[in-house]
């Protein structure tokens, strides 16, 4: 819990309730009560719902989570569902974390529904840092006193800005893996197909997240034009929109590039299979000639040419070798081998 009074940030006792925090924001001008729930449970949500008099539908969303990114208004309370992203390079996976953000005049509540903070910090560790008053890098949300004087929407902007900034290293990691896959494709590694599919899925997840978040931010921007929001804050939000648009475009480029890489890989695999079939067919033809001759002379008929000829056996073997060598030369000349 953090209290912001005219841009100055103060730590609130861990025992303070949601109703007391709300009362603080209402008792003075330019006050903001920031409530962080790193590991929200049902009792936390019910306490917040009672203090803020939340709509039952909104409470249901908070309790069950797993909501698509969206922006909804319930009376004077604004709900944003957003997702941050964290790239795990060792597993080549993108971990998405869901956040429910409630905003009203003078108050903002952030619920970490996946029990992780934006940078991937475990929710329990984050909660402990809050209780100890040592937020360290998480204080970045509240680092600009001038900005905080613009109201609770300013804190919302800082949260969105940090989430959007988190997509940059994710896309950087995906880009490196894409380049590795390109080299792997042309090296003929058979395991690359599975890697392409897995990375494509991660890129699609990021693309969906950025696209959904972009809709939320644009809707928020439209809402700011309807409500009394400082013009300076609209400028900050536009900067977030620009960064998010760039991230969404880059994710789209990665998806298209991986699709092309998959097509190229399929073509190369088909070419290699064709070359293998040529070799198999060539060796089958080379072995067919000696097999045919041996089969004929293995019929044991009484009347066969050269059957009792002293040079029949070496002659037959010589014909087999000459026939096989001739076929091998033809296939070699046609670059089948």
Q: Are 95 and 112 in contact (CB under 8 A)?
A: no
Q: What pLDDT is attached to residue 210?
A: 92
Give me the domains of the chain, ranges plus CATH numbers: 1-139 (3.30.460.20), 270-333 (1.20.58.340)
User: How confident is the prediction along the chain (337 residues), in pLDDT tens digits per residue?
Assistant: 555 555 455 565 566 788 888 887 777 777 788 888 888 999 999 999 999 999 999 999 999 888 888 899 888 888 999 999 999 888 888 999 999 999 988 888 999 999 888 888 887 777 666 555 555 545 556 666 677 677 778 888 888 988 999 999 999 999 999 988 888 888 777 778 888 899 999 999 999 999 999 998 888 877 766 766 677 777 888 888 899 999 999 999 999 999 988 888 888 777 776 766 777 777 777 777 777 777 776 676 666 666 666 666 677 777 778 877 887 777 777 776 6
Q: Are 220 and 80 in contact (CB under 8 A)?
A: yes
**Cα gap 96→118, rounded to integer Å:** 9
**Cα gap 177→199, rounded to integer Å:** 8
Q: What pLDDT is attached to residue 206?
A: 92
Q: What pLDDT is attached to residue 131?
A: 57
**Cα gap 144→155, rounded to integer Å:** 10
Q: What pLDDT is attached to residue 303?
A: 64
**Cα gap 26→76, rounded to integer Å:** 14
Q: What pLDDT is attached to residue 36?
A: 85
Residue 61's nearest CA partner among 98, 95, 19, 86 is 98
Give the global pTM.
0.75
Strand order in the sheet with 93-104: 8-11, 2-5, 31-37, 107-112, 93-104, 77-88, 70-74
Q: What pLDDT is attached to residue 202?
A: 92
Look at strands 107-112 and 31-37 and give their pairing: parallel
CA 142 to chain centre: 28
């Amino acid at each position: 819990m953090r209290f912001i009074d005219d841009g100055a940030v103060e730590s609130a006792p861990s025992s303070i309730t949601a109703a007391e925090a709300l009362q603080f924001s209402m008792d003075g001008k330019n006050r903001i009560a920031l409530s962080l729930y790193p590991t929200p449970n049902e009792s936390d949500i019910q306490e917040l719902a009672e203090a803020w008099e939340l709509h039952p539908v909104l409470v249901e969303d908070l309790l069950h989570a797993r909501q698509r990114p969206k922006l909804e208004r319930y009376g004077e309370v604004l709900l944003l569902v957003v997702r941050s992203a964290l790239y795990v390079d060792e597993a080549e996976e993108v971990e998405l974390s869901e956040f429910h953000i409630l905003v009203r005049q003078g108050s903002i509540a952030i619920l970490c529904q996946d029990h992780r903070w934006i940078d991937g910090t475990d929710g329990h560790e984050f909660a402990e840092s809050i209780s100890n008053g040592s937020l360290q890098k998480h204080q970045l949300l509240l680092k600009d006193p001038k900005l905080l004087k613009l109201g609770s929407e300013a804190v919302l902007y800082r949260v969105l800005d940090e989430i959007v900034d988190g997509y940059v290293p994710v896309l950087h990691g995906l880009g490196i893996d894409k380049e590795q896959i390109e080299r792997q494709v042309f090296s003929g590694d058979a395991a690359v197909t599975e890697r392409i599919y897995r990375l494509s899925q991660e890129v699609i997840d990021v693309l969906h997240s950025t696209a959904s978040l972009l809709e939320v931010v644009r809707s928020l921007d439209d809402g700011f034009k309807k409500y009394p929001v400082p013009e300076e804050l609209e400028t900050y939000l536009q900067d977030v929109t620009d960064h998010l648009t760039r991230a969404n475009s880059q994710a789209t480029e990665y998806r298209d590039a991986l699709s092309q890489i998959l097509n190229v890989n399929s073509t190369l695999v088909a070419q290699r299979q064709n070359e293998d079939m040529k070799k198999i067919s060539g060796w089958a033809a080379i072995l067919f000639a000696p097999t045919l001759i041996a089969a004929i002379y293995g019929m044991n008929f009484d009347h066969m040419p050269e059957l009792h000829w002293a040079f029949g056996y070496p002659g037959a073997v010589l014909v087999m070798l000459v026939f096989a060598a001739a076929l091998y030369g033809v296939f070699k000349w046609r670059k089948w081998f």
